[in-house]
Chains A and B, each alone.
Chain A
Amino acid sequence: MGAPFGSFGVATPWLLWLLPLALLPLLRSATRRTAISAVSAAPADPLSAAIGAVLTVSGILALAGLIVALAGPYRAGEHVTRTGIGAQVSMLIDRSGSMNETFAGRQPSGEEESKAAASRRILGAFVGERAHDQFAVTAFSTAPMLVVPMTDRRDAVRAAISAIDRPGLDYTNVARGLGMALSQFGPAAPGVSRALLLVSDGAAVIDPRIQAQLRAEFAKVRPNLYWLFLRTKGSPSIHDKPAGEDTPQAAPERHLDLFFKSLGVPYRAFEAEGAEAVAGAVRQIEALERDPIPYTEIRPRRDLTGYAYAAAAFGLLVLVLAKLAEADFLRQGPHASTERAAPVARHETPRSDAA
């Protein structure tokens, strides 16, 4: 596979080695051979010579056209960069066991929907609606897991989201998850809006040593940070101050919120206590993330095989007509001796002599 001539290429280049065969019409004619005592006996006939040349060219065209057609010529596809509306969204999704409970903190039964199933439904719709976004999906529980790297293939992102309501794992270790979600953005591209969407139903204490690392990472990547907090009914809110000591251990949600606020990146937290609230929050995020983003559009390569076959067919048509119009020169017959040979027939004499 290659495009050796600019944007043109062929699918199977080795077939082009057959191209010298196309010069065969220069050596051999497809017309009948007739013995003649001396070519020089016939007067020079420019019309016959021209017809002979046309037939040779037609033969070359037919053979070369077929060989090129078999090699599969194409004009290479192009990558065109355009600007659309969208963002790079890195989703960090909590896969701890509690995500499989309902917003009321129970095992789902009947019509009830677990938090994971609700986020699956709503995030799936979010991915489906936005044409030029790029998404990456990271899951975390005890350890972070790279699910899908940053991609514009929405089928793959949807497949990753449709796996999030499967039974989850143990704990909510948000710090390492944030680190991996940030690493999904890759090297900075100018003019690309970046958003980190954390979907979790709990929080955890972030080790102070890791806090410093995360702070540095956030300062480098500078994403818009959204925290979609799926609050179980009756559990503490982000804004609740604990009754006793106000430590990260006592109120991890509140302290994670404070940590996010201290990062110096645009940050919004959404507390959702039901599927409708989640949908509302996702709608708000969607409205906020409307920035121009360069995206690549691939123009498919164009198959030129048809043109090669058309050229070959034209050459063959001329040859077939010529074969039909072949006359018998100097043949003993009722007409050949009386009629002057047609010009069409005349050309073959020098050619067949050469052959």
Chain B
Amino acid sequence: MTPATRALRHLPFRRNLRDRRFQALAAALVLTLAALFAGPLPLTRSGVAVLAVVDITGSMNVRDYTLDGKPTSRLEIAKAALRRMVAELPCGSRVALALFTERRPFLLFTPIEVCADFAPLDGALAGIDWRMAWEGDSRVAAGLHRAIQMAGELDTDLLFVTDGQETPPLPSTGLPPFDGKPGAVRGLIAGAGAYGLSPIPKYNDRGREAGFYGETDVQQENRFGPPPADAESREGYNPRNAPFGASAAKGTEHLSSVREPHLKALAAQTGLAYAHLDGPDGLAPAFTAAATPRPLPGRIDPRPLLGGLALALALAAFLAGLLPARFLQTTRM
């Protein structure tokens, strides 16, 4: 019998096995080995699929936001908010982009993934310009109804960023009827703009800014369809020749603020949520709250948990030297 084996035979194994520090180190070793060989665990996360529709009509050029101390237009804030939202959405979420002007959304691309295709998506959002508008009208209600239909076709939720300014103004009969099923497409209307009235910049045919719209530059009242109920009391009213009264309509349609009551009425009519766009931040949580969570295949890495526990145990084994000896031995079984 060699001295080494003799020494081994007389080692107090039972006592060693009961040593708390041995147990801590052994557990740390097991956890570390588990971390070494553990693969990522599958798990289901929730992402979103969204059709983002951006209003690019003239009233979105109103500069009633402030960004870095400079007056910033609603469209710039909407673009910045969308770019931040795309960066914040979990990977696997998909975003399609459409522009709104006139009375319908125009689809630029079908949904693309927000992480792998981030660069083109971000570039497309950065490239949005009011000059892409193909007509000057801004029939927000009609545009929203068609956007809901488009989102349904694409099987996505809807994010509609607009200030709610109808050009021409809505007739006295109020909102156009909604043909779809309210709530079938979920999503959010984000109201852009400040609550106070601001002038709308005017651009010439070469796209350069040329002052602001005046009261007589825009239609102040929609005179299609039946006249409003109070028409009879108007000056110069004549049922045949002047059903809307004799004087020109006066109003504040040449100024713009976020039309929150109108947007809230639209949200109620179509079963969407409404949130005010306060700035470039915060669109992602607001939209995620309103959207349908879509299961995405995700993975979780168990290694930080295993490694963290192992580190705590190993540190405890070394720090235990500070404790009195009686705490370090389990009681005899």
Contact = CB atoms under 8 A, between A and B. Distances in A.
A342 B320 contact: no
Contacts of A148: 108-109, 120, 123-124
Interface in B114-141: 116-117, 119-121, 123-124, 127-129, 131-135
Contact of B111 (A28, A147, A159): A159
A165 B36 CA distance: 52
Interface string A329-353: 0010101100111111100000000
B189 interface: no
B317 A66 contact: no
B131 A30 contact: no
Given A66-B32, A342-B7, A316 B132 contact: no
Interface of A: 21, 24-25, 28-33, 59, 62-63, 65-67, 69-70, 72, 95, 137, 139, 141-149, 151, 153, 155-157, 159-160, 162-163, 166-167, 169-170, 305-306, 309-310, 312-313, 316-317, 319-320, 323-328, 331, 333, 335-336, 339-345, 355
Contacts of B237: none
Of A30, A157, A305, most buried by chain B (CB within 10 Å of CB) is A30
B321 A355 contact: yes
A153 B116 contact: yes
Interface of B is mostly: helix
Contacts of A343: 7
A145 B28 CA distance: 60
B28 A147 contact: no
B36 A328 contact: no
A170 B321 CA distance: 82
A222 B3 CA distance: 88
A309 B36 contact: yes
A355 B121 CA distance: 61
A145 B109 contact: no
B117 A153 contact: yes
Contact of B124 (A141, A149, A167, A328): A149
Contact of B132 (A137, A143, A344): A143
Contacts of A341: 7
B21 interface: yes
Given A151-B117, A160-B109, A313-B36, 17 more contacts: A24-B315, A30-B25, A70-B308, A146-B124, A146-B128, A147-B108, A148-B108, A151-B120, A156-B109, A159-B112, A160-B108, A163-B108, A309-B303, A316-B310, A324-B13, A342-B4, A342-B11
B132 to A, nearest CB: 4
A323 B10 contact: no
A316 B31 CA distance: 11
Interface in B287-319: 303-304, 307-308, 310-311, 314-315, 317-319
Given A30-B318, A166-B107, A323-B19, A342 B8 contact: yes
A2 B208 CA distance: 44
A146 B320 contact: no
Contacts of A169: 106, 134
A333 B11 CA distance: 11
Contacts of B117: 151, 153, 155-156, 159
B303 A63 contact: no
Contacts of A65: 32
A323 to B, nearest CB: 4
Nearest to B4: A342
Contact of B28 (A149, A162, A316): A316
Contacts of A142: 134-135
A355 B11 CA distance: 23
Nearest to B98: A163
A316 to B, nearest CB: 4
B6 to A, nearest CB: 7
B77 interface: no
B283 interface: no
Interface residues of B, number: 65
Of B36, B106, B117, B314, most buried by chain A (CB within 10 Å of CB) is B314
Contacts of B321: 28-30, 33, 355
A59 to B, nearest CB: 6
3 closest cross-chain pairs (CB), A and B: A342-B7, A149-B123, A146-B127
Contacts of B15: 328
A298 B120 CA distance: 17
B175 to A, nearest CB: 23
B113 to A, nearest CB: 7
B106 A151 contact: no
B49 to A, nearest CB: 13
Given A28-B322, A170-B134, A313-B33, A323 B25 contact: yes
Contacts of A95: 106
B99 interface: yes
24 contacts: A30-B21, A32-B19, A63-B318, A66-B32, A66-B307, A69-B35, A70-B311, A143-B133, A145-B99, A145-B108, A148-B120, A148-B123, A149-B124, A151-B120, A156-B121, A157-B120, A163-B109, A169-B106, A312-B307, A316-B29, A323-B22, A328-B12, A333-B12, A342-B11
Contact of A159 (B96, B99, B132): B96
B68 to A, nearest CB: 24
Interface in B133-192: 133-135
A324 B15 CA distance: 9
Of B36, B117, B318, most buried by chain A (CB within 10 Å of CB) is B318
Contact of B25 (A155, A156, A319, A339): A319
Contacts of B319: 24, 28
Contacts of A317: 29
